[in-house]
Amino acid sequence: MIRLHRSMMLVAATLVAAATLAPSAFAQVPSPAPAVATPPDTVRAILPPRQPLPAESASAGVTKFSFIAYGDTRGRRDGTELQYEHSLIVDAMLRQIAQRANGPSPIRFILQSGDAVVNGRDPRQWNKSFTGLINRLTTEGGVPYFLAPGNHDVTSAAELDNPGRKEGLANYLRAVAQLIPPDGATRRLAGYPTYAFGFGNTFVLAFDSNIAADSTQFGWARAQLAGLDRARYPNVIAFFHHPAFSSGPHGGAIVERPTAAVRDWWMPLFRAHGVQLLVTGHEHLYEHWIERYRDAQGARRRMDQLVTGGGGAPLYPYRGEPDLRGYVAASGADSARVDHLVRPGMEAGDNPYHFVVVNVDGAQMSLELFSVDWGAGFAPYRSNRAVLRDASPGVSR
Q: Is residue 12 part of a domain?
A: no
Q: Under 8 Å CB-to-CB from 66, ≥6 apart: which residues?
A: 100, 105, 106, 107, 108, 357, 358, 359, 360
Q: Is residue 31 part of a domain?
A: no
Q: Is residue 22 part of a domain?
A: no
Please check the confidence at residue 333 and state whether its pLDDT lies above 60: yes
Q: Cα-atom radius of gyration of the chain, to the nearest Å?
A: 20
pLDDT at 10: 37
User: Which helix (H) or strand (E) segment is 79 a member of?
Assistant: none
Task: Over range 350-371, report the average pLDDT.
Answer: 97
Alpha-carbon distances of 273 from 10, 111, 118, 234, 256, rounded to whole Å: 52, 21, 34, 11, 25
Long-range Cβ contacts of 265-269 (<8 Å, 24+ apart): 265/212, 265/213, 265/218, 266/207, 266/212, 266/218, 266/238, 267/291, 267/327, 267/336, 268/331, 268/334, 269/218, 269/221, 269/222, 269/225
Task: Over range 290-299, report the average pLDDT.
Answer: 96
Q: Is residue 41 part of a domain?
A: yes
DSSP string of 124-164, one letter each residue: HIIIIIIHHHHHIIIIIS---EEE---HHHH-S---TT-HH
Q: Which of the two residues, 20 and 307, has the higher pLDDT score?
A: 307
The pLDDT confidence band at residue 148, using thresholds 50, 70 and 90, is: very high
Alpha-carbon distances of 66 from 116, 156, 225, 361, rounded to whole Å: 22, 31, 22, 9
pLDDT at 98: 98
For residue 313, what is the domain's CATH number? Answer: 3.60.21.10
pLDDT at 391: 76
Q: Is residue 26 part of a domain?
A: no
How far apart CA 299 and CA 296 sit, in angstroms, is 7
Q: Is residue 23 part of a domain?
A: no
Please check the confidence at residue 8 and state whether its pLDDT lies above 50: no
* Sheet strands (E) in the chain: 64-70, 107-112, 145-147, 188-189, 194-199, 202-206, 235-239, 277-280, 286-294, 300-308, 337-342, 354-361, 364-371, 385-387, 395-396
- The residue among 320, 322, 292, 316 whose CA lies nearest residue 305 is 292
Each residue of 128-146: pLDDT tens digit? 999 999 999 999 999 999 9
Q: Is residue 11 part of a domain?
A: no
pLDDT at 11: 35
Residue 152's domain comprises: 37-396
Please check the confidence at residue 393 and state whether its pLDDT lies above 80: no
pLDDT at 397: 63
Q: Total structural domains in the chain?
A: 1
Contact in structure between 189 and 195 (CB atoms under 8 Å):
yes
State percent of the chain over pLDDT 90.
87
pLDDT at 291: 98
For residue 302, the cross-strand partners are 292
The pLDDT confidence band at residue 13, using thresholds 50, 70 and 90, is: very low
Task: Over range 158-169, report the average pLDDT.
Answer: 98
Each residue of 194-231: pLDDT tens digit? 999 999 999 999 999 999 999 999 999 999 999 999 99
Q: Is residue 30 part of a domain?
A: no
- Of 34-38, 123-127, 193-197, 229-233, where does mean pLDDT reach its minimum? 34-38
Q: What are phi and psi of 59, to 5 degrees?
A: -105, 15
Q: Share the mean pLDDT of the chain.
A: 91
